[in-house]
Amino acid sequence: MPKDSGIGASSKRREDVRFLTGAGNYTDDINVHGQAYVHFLRSDIAHGRISNIDTSAAEGMPGVVKIFTGKDFEGVGGMPCGWEITDRHGAPMQEPPHPILAQGKVRHVGDPIAAVVADSLEQARDAAEAIEVDIEELPAVMDMKAAAQDGATLIHDDLKNNICYDWHLGEEDNDKVNEVFANAAHVTTLDLINNRLVANPMEPRVAVAEYSRGTEDYTLYTTSQNPHVIRLLMCAFVLGLPEHKVRVVAPDVGGGFGTKIFHYAEEAFCTFAAKACNRPLKWTASRSEAFMSDAQGRDHVSTVELALDADNNFTGLRTNTYANLGAYLSTFSSSVPTWLHGTLMAGNYKTPVIQVNVKAMFTNTVPVDAYRGAGRPEATYQLERVIDKAARELGVDPIALRRQNFITQFPYDTPVALTYDTGDYNGTMDKLEAAADLAGFAARRAESEANGKLRGLGVNCYIEACGIAPSNIVGMLGARAGLYDAATVRVNATGSISVMVGAHSHGQGHETAFPQVVADMIGIDESMVEIVHGDTSKIPFGMGTYGSRSLAVCGSAMVKATEKIIDKAKKIAAHLLEASEADIELKDGQFSVAGTDKSVAWGDVTLTAYVPHNFPLEVEPGLEETAFYDPANFTFPAGAYACEVEVDPETGQVTIEAFTAADDFGNIVNPMIVDGQVHGGIGQGIGQALLENCAYDENGQLLSASFMDYAMPRADDLPFYGVDHSSQTPCTHNPLGVKGCGEAGAIGSPPAVVNAVLDALNAGGKAVDHIDMPMSPSRVWAAMNG
Amino acid sequence: MYNFEFERPSTIADAVAALGGEDAQALGGGQTLIPTLKQRLAAPSKLVSMNGIAEMQGVCIEDDGSVAIGGATTHANVAAKAAGSYPALAALAGQIGDPAVRNRGTIGGSVANNDPAACYPAGVLGSGATIVTNTRQIAADDFFQGMFTTALEEDEIITSVRFPVPQAASYQKFLQPASRFALVGVYLARFADGVRVAVTGASEEGVFRWSEAEEALNKEFRTDALMDLHVNPMNMIGDLHGSKEYRAHLVGVMTKRAVEACS
Ligand SMILES: Cc1cc2nc3c(=O)[nH]c(=O)nc-3n(C[C@H](O)[C@H](O)[C@H](O)COP(=O)(O)OP(=O)(O)OC[C@H]3O[C@@H](n4cnc5c(N)ncnc54)[C@H](O)[C@@H]3O)c2cc1C
């Protein structure tokens, strides 16, 4: 029986009422009396030396308050990187400065050179056009392999080369790996590209900053997934401000997808310049600016090799990846191709020997950082594509090959540093086979053929590591932050509850799902519980929302704080009921004495906490508790996906005919929200597989700089999804047994789509091994006719 | 956007007068022009809206049976009002952009702009339509002169476009995945005196007539007639969305589909 409230209920998303009726309060909706506007003059050259900036003409233009260039930021910190990677030789990664405004050089199209503050935006733009900038153009470094060569043009003059780090994970001994491959009965090799993406949340980035001369306090409103992280980085590393004098607010945020995790130069600029100008300042990115300044995603070029023995058991896996970091290190960029990617290369399989090699490269492109899935989609794509290719080469059923190699015993220590706590990969695959009606595929294929279309089926698995993760472990791996989270449960006198959470909801539905948990624990109506998030002055602390961590980490903190509340409330109830605390039971919002009909309601206990006339002397009045939670391990959601496509043999056009996801997310709080998260993730995965392509030309000009050339998936590009999350092996180490579902769809779906297209082509007699994403009609047609 | 004056005259004569000033520019639906202004890529001193001119609105059937469409008629209106008189053209209009674009964008603006991937140029050239301006009438064959280039003089206004109605016609549009303009669009019209095939999206020289296909189909109106025909990829557009070879190939496929639709 589906529940109608509490944990397990598909409660309707309460936040959608304001989102859908235009009543949201986004950063751009915030206007501060007397505010001036900021416009950034950005480089239209990918790589060059700035020989002169002349702002004199611009300074006298109407409405101009002040013009800033790199000179104004000499001595001010640059944008920090939050994760230090140690390379294969034990040396720290090369970490070049990332100034707020360009210092001496521009390194990508969109790099900010100057900022104009003016009374109106149009005046700021007018003045920016009057700034004269002389740039001596340098060759753009675009190709990662060429960038790694000795003698390549240097992007950062003070570094020894363009390689941020050369890193590896897993088996260290090359001879041992070579031996595995030499002894293999079969080796499948695949070269592939994980295409660069632009996240493109519906809401572009915005910053509004205020400085109070009277109190010396700063307030920054910003489009962020993690306001506390922004405050910490900006105060401690960039501007050197005391944290208690800075409030960072991330109100309603119109989508993040990772690209709003990072601390951006524009936020620090506005905060700094609000004081310098003694004016509140507002900056709103145009969509064009978003294309050239939001951190982009993916962009790996890999060779992956899979070794199998004569019985088709996987015996070894070796990958060599060039990972594009762009021109500068964005906040978490260094962690994505390493600890969020290499550690996932075991996938769902018991491959005994794995070696992952990654060269992370600087190029004259927009910085690359975490985008929905962050490293895990890149890992999954390599693994699930090479397995599919192996199955084709060996002439075996791709599902059977996967099943044969599944990990079946848990906990399982992978050769790439993780311990999976639970999972049931065969069980999940069984669910997929049923939900996707794989038995009926042959008939569907015949029907497509009768209509002149090639039909293909692609199946793959994925594993991800979510709920990132024990702070002591990530610290050892180079993280410069802890990855716990916090919640304060404040019970009001009349029994309603505000929960101040460190997670930030920007589309995930926390405002609905989190109260379901607290209400369920106490046995009260969900509507009595509300969460507060996104404001450093209101919440205890928060590492924010990314990596599918909110419920697993922050939700656990919330559960622990609620447990403390219940413990205290029981003491009060025991006092009121003149019973022993050990005999008090809480059910449906009533405290009762076990074995009697004596009870007191939740609301009477909470009122007593605040009107403590008849109160236990040893208990403090009030009812508010805070908990911090640091997880013991990652969580490991896993799943199996099936995609059916039709290919038009005349045009190469691919249409998705069916897409089915079977996921194991452990326990589920709100099945409808989980469905929605999976739908959105698959939409992004299909976008990556078929449509989205962030492309630069050889001079570093962005070719896909607007929606005219960057193809976002639209509703009619996507099918109705089948989503099954009835395969549930609860996480063993967090109180809710939850694993996280936010990224699964984006991680699991690209290989399913590509595998399906290749299946269609091969079934149609076209021996095609691989097509790089996005599989545009032009590329598919070229592959068929190549 | 830079500042500009705005006028909304109610007659063609007033519009002509308003456009006489320096750097004045006609404004149709603004679906191309306004984004250009927002990006500060153009700086007209004055915009003269065509939308208030009653004589430039609507779809009507002339005495000779041709369909005349006012230069300021929106794509949505053409889709709705020409559906009976010239269904293939109405279908073309109904495939342009999205509802917001169709409710603002106009035939005059689209034809004057002559975007190499736009739909109307194929419909106009494929139909052998006549572009009527405030000063003259221009045959479609003389009007389109390459990407974003037309026979229009400065400040000349497209007041209407007159379409002879073919026995059968079809527009086959293959979508560019991002913009959803035509990656390749083929407009085929079959008249008593011959077939016209106009291709948009494909060529670096803008919309063009595929004369080999016309000749072959005039001999024999069957898809087989196209079998041995190939478009030379050399002058095709090659970009992120499709190679020159791919576009050349698509011209053939879309033409074949148009023939099937007209058979
Ligand atoms: C999201 C989007 C999707 C689109 N998709 C498509 C598509 O699929 N297919 C397609 O064909 N088009 C598409 N378009 C373009 C659309 O059809 C425009 O309406 C058209 O290109 C311009 O028409 P307009 O009336 O908006 O002209 P405007 O933008 O107002 O003007 C364009 C040019 O024409 C001039 N002009 C305007 N009216 C006249 C006139 N009566 N006489 C002389 N000159 C005039 C203007 O001075 C200007 O130079 C799309 C546009 C957008 C924004």
Residue at a domain's end among B163, B194, B213: B163
CATH number at residue B113: 3.30.465.10
One-character DSSP codes across B87-133: HHHHHHHHTSS-HHHHHH-BHHHHHHH--TT-SHHHHHHHHT-EEEE
Residue of chain B whose Cα is closest to the Cα of A697: B240
Interface touch A651/B174, C-beta < 8 Å:
yes
How far, CA to CA in Å, does A446 sit from each of A396, A436, A653, A785?
21, 17, 19, 23
Q: Please, what CATH class does the domain formed by A484-629 belong to?
A: alpha beta
Q: Is the CB of B176 under 6 A from ligand 1?
A: no
* Candidate from A288, A695, A778 with C-beta closest to B243: A778
What would the pLDDT profile of B76-124 be if each residue is shown by its tens digit? 999 999 999 999 999 999 999 999 999 999 999 999 999 999 999 999 9
Rounded Cα distance between A577 and A591, Å, is 9
The per-residue pLDDT for A3 is: 81
Phi then psi for residue A704, to 5 deg, are -105, 70
* Domain residue extents for chain A: 27-138+202-255+260-293, 300-469+633-784, 484-629
* Candidate from B177, B239, B249 with C-beta closest to A711: B177
Alpha carbon B236 to its chain centroid, in Å, reads 19
Least Cα distance to B120 among B135, B109, B132 occurs for B109
Cis peptide before A337 (omega within 30 of 0): no
Q: To the nearest whole angstrom, how far is the Cα of B97 from the nearest Cα of chain A?
A: 11
Rounded Cα distance between A376 and A306, Å, is 18
Q: Which residues of A touch B183 (CB under 8 A)?
A: 777
**CB of B98 within 8 Å of any CB in chain A?**
no
State the closest ligand 1 atom to the C-alpha of B32, by its place in the atom list counted from 1. Answer: 29
**CB of A122 within 8 Å of any CB in chain B?**
yes
Least Cα distance to A385 among A189, A196, A642 occurs for A189
Burial category of A104 from C-beta neighbours within 10 Å (exposed 0-12, middle 13-18, buried 19 and up): exposed
Q: Is the CB of B96 under 6 A from ligand 1?
A: yes
Rounded Cα distance between A492 and A610, Å, is 8
Ligand 1 geometric centre to CA of B68 (Å) = 19
Residues B17 and B94 in one domain: yes
Q: Is the alpha carbon torsion for A376, A13, A712, A221 positive or negative?
A: negative
Q: Which residues of A touch B243 (CB under 8 A)?
A: 778, 782
Q: Which residues of B touch A653 (CB under 8 A)?
A: 174
Interface touch B242/A778, C-beta < 8 Å:
yes
Task: Check if the beta carbon of residue A460 is closer than 8 Å to that of residue A391.
Answer: no
Best mutation target, A287, A647, A651, A712, to test chain B (most B CBs within 10 A): A651
Residue at a domain's end among B135, B163, B191: B163
Rounded Cα distance between A248 and A227, Å, is 6
Alpha carbon A683 to its chain centroid, in Å, reads 15
Best mutation target, B227, B243, B246, B254, to test chain A (most A CBs within 10 A): B246
State the closest ligand 1 atom to the C-alpha of B175, by its place in the atom list counted from 1. Answer: 8
Tokens 């919002």 map to which residue?
A589
**CB of B201 within 8 Å of any CB in chain A?**
no
Residues B37 and B70 in one domain: yes
What would the pLDDT profile of A222-245 be if each residue is shown by its tens digit? 999 999 999 999 999 999 999 999
Interface touch B246/A711, C-beta < 8 Å:
no
Arithmetic mean of pLDDT, B170-174 = 98
Residue A668 pLDDT > 80: yes
Just give the CATH number of A300-469+633-784.
3.30.365.10
What would the pLDDT profile of A677-716 be if each residue is shown by its tens digit? 999 999 999 999 999 999 999 999 999 999 999 999 999 9
- Count of Cβ atoms closer than 10 Å to residue A442 Cβ: 11
Tell me which residue has its CA closest to atom 37 in ligand 1.
Answer: B109
Arithmetic mean of pLDDT, A133-161 = 97
Q: Which residues of B touch A129 (CB under 8 A)?
A: 40
**CB of A442 within 8 Å of any CB in chain B?**
no
What would the pLDDT profile of A479-528 be if each residue is shown by its tens digit? 998 899 999 999 999 999 999 999 999 999 999 999 999 999 999 999 99
Long-range CB contacts (within 8 A, 24+) of A14-21: A14/A511, A14/A512, A15/A505, A15/A509, A15/A511, A15/A512, A18/A252, A19/A252
Arithmetic mean of pLDDT, B230-239 = 96
Arithmetic mean of pLDDT, A58-70 = 98
Rounded Cα distance between A238 and A80, Å, is 7
Rounded Cα distance between B178 and A693, Å, is 10
The per-residue pLDDT for B193 is: 95
Same fold, A27-138+202-255+260-293 and A300-469+633-784: no
Q: Which residues of A touch B253 (CB under 8 A)?
A: 650-651
Phi then psi for residue A400, to 5 deg, are -65, -40
Residues B206 and B252 in one domain: yes
**CB of A701 within 8 Å of any CB in chain B?**
no
> pTM to 2 decimals?
0.97
Q: Quick one: pLDDT band at residue A470, thresholds 50, 70, 90?
A: confident
What would the pLDDT profile of A591-629 be if each residue is shown by its tens digit? 999 999 999 999 999 999 999 999 998 999 999 999 999
- Count of Cβ atoms closer than 10 Å to residue A66 Cβ: 17
How many separate domains does chain B show? 2
Residues B155 and B178 in one domain: no
Residues B48 and B80 in one domain: yes
DSSP A779: H
Residues B83 and B97 in one domain: yes
Arithmetic mean of pLDDT, A255-264 = 97
How far, CA to CA in Å, does A145 sit from each of A162, A174, A386, A741?
10, 22, 22, 35
Interface touch A776/B242, C-beta < 8 Å:
yes
Least Cα distance to A207 among A43, A21, A40 occurs for A40
Rounded Cα distance between A179 and A591, Å, is 67
Residues B29 and B151 in one domain: yes
Rounded Cα distance between A237 and A218, Å, is 16
Least Cα distance to A314 among A342, A341, A344, A354 occurs for A354
Residues B185 and B107 in one domain: no
Largest distance between two CA atoms of chain B:
57
- Count of Cβ atoms closer than 10 Å to residue A733 Cβ: 17
Alpha carbon A118 to its chain centroid, in Å, reads 35
Residue A469 pLDDT > 90: no
Interface touch B178/A704, C-beta < 8 Å:
yes
Name, in order, each residue with C-beta under 8 angstroms of A53's C-beta and a sequence gap of 6 or more: A69, A70, A113, A114, A131, A132, A133, A134
Interface touch B178/A712, C-beta < 8 Å:
yes
Pocket test for ligand 1, best of B19, B33, B199 (most atoms within 8 A of CB): B33
Task: Check if the beta carbon of residue A739 is closer than 8 Å to that of residue A634.
Answer: no
Residue at a domain's end among B163, B182, B203: B163
Give the 3-state secondary structure of residue A752. Answer: helix
Order of strands across the sheet that contains A206-212: A64-69, A112-118, A36-42, A281-284, A206-212, A217-222, A246-249
How far, CA to CA in Å, does A510 sit from each of A10, A33, A486, A525, B180?
13, 32, 14, 16, 35
Ligand 1 geometric centre to CA of A618 (Å) = 77
Residue B101's domain spans which residues?
A: 5-163
Task: Check if the beta carbon of residue A387 is closer than 8 Å to that of residue A192.
Answer: no
Q: To the nearest whole angstrom, how far is the Cα of B38 from the nearest Cα of chain A?
A: 11
Q: For A428-488, what is the HEC assignment?
A: HHHHHHHHCCHHHHHHHHHHHHHCCCEEEEEEEEEECCECCCCHHHHHHCCECCCCCEEEE
Residues B13 and B115 in one domain: yes
The per-residue pLDDT for A374 is: 95
Reduced to 3 DSSP states, what percent helix, strand and coil does chain B have, rounded to the nearest 5?
Answer: 35, 25, 40
Q: Is the CB of B105 under 6 A from ligand 1?
A: yes
- Count of Cβ atoms closer than 10 Å to residue B215 Cβ: 14
Q: Is the alpha carbon torsion for A337, A189, B240, B256 positive or negative?
A: negative
Rounded Cα distance between B240 and A392, Å, is 30
Q: To the nearest whole angstrom, how far is the Cα of B179 from the nearest Cα of chain A?
A: 4
For chain A, the residue count is: 786
Rounded Cα distance between A724 and A97, Å, is 47
**CB of A707 within 8 Å of any CB in chain B?**
yes
Least Cα distance to A436 among A764, A752, A653 occurs for A752
Residues B54 and B108 in one domain: yes
Interface touch B177/A777, C-beta < 8 Å:
yes
The per-residue pLDDT for A2 is: 64
Ligand 1 geometric centre to CA of A569 (Å) = 67
**CB of B36 within 8 Å of any CB in chain A?**
no
**CB of B60 within 8 Å of any CB in chain A?**
no
DSSP B66: -
Arithmetic mean of pLDDT, B25-29 = 97
Residue of chain A whose Cα is closest to the Cα of B242: A778
Q: Which residues of A touch B240 (CB under 8 A)?
A: 693, 695, 703-704, 709
The per-residue pLDDT for A1 is: 54
Residue of chain A whose Cα is closest to the Cα of B243: A778
How far, CA to CA in Å, does A116 sit from each of A62, A103, A223?
12, 17, 21
Rounded Cα distance between B74 and B1, Å, is 24
Residue type, A671: P
Best mutation target, B31, B186, B240, to test chain A (most A CBs within 10 A): B240
The dihedral region occupied by A316, where left means phi > 0, alpha psi between -120 and 50, and beta the remainder, is beta
Rounded Cα distance between A293 and B203, Å, is 33
Assigned token pair, A478 = 């180079």
**CB of B221 within 8 Å of any CB in chain A?**
no
Q: Is the CB of B170 under 6 A from ligand 1?
A: no
Q: Is the CB of B77 under 6 A from ligand 1?
A: no
Give the 3-state secondary structure of residue A169. Answer: strand
Rounded Cα distance between A684 and A681, Å, is 5
**CB of B245 within 8 Å of any CB in chain A?**
yes
* Residues 634-673 in A contacting B (C-alpha not used; CB under 8 Å): 650-653
Q: Which residues pair with B6 in a beta bridge?
A: B47
Best mutation target, A41, A198, A696, A778, to test chain B (most B CBs within 10 A): A778
Q: For A71-118, what is the HEC assignment?
A: HHHCCCCCCCCCECCECCCCCECCCCCCCCCCCCEECCCCCEEEEEEE
Rounded Cα distance between B108 and A5, Å, is 57
Assigned token pair, A352 = 């005994």
What would the pLDDT profile of A363-409 be if each residue is shown by its tens digit? 999 999 999 999 999 999 999 999 999 999 999 999 999 999 999 99
Best mutation target, A776, A779, A784, A785, to test chain B (most B CBs within 10 A): A776
Interface touch A707/B39, C-beta < 8 Å:
no
CATH superfamily of A27-138+202-255+260-293: Aldehyde oxidase/xanthine dehydrogenase, a/b hammerhead (3.90.1170.50)
Tell me which residue has its CA closest to atom 20 in ligand 1.
Answer: B110
The per-residue pLDDT for A786 is: 82
Task: Check if the beta carbon of residue A689 is closer than 8 Å to that of residue A754.
Answer: yes
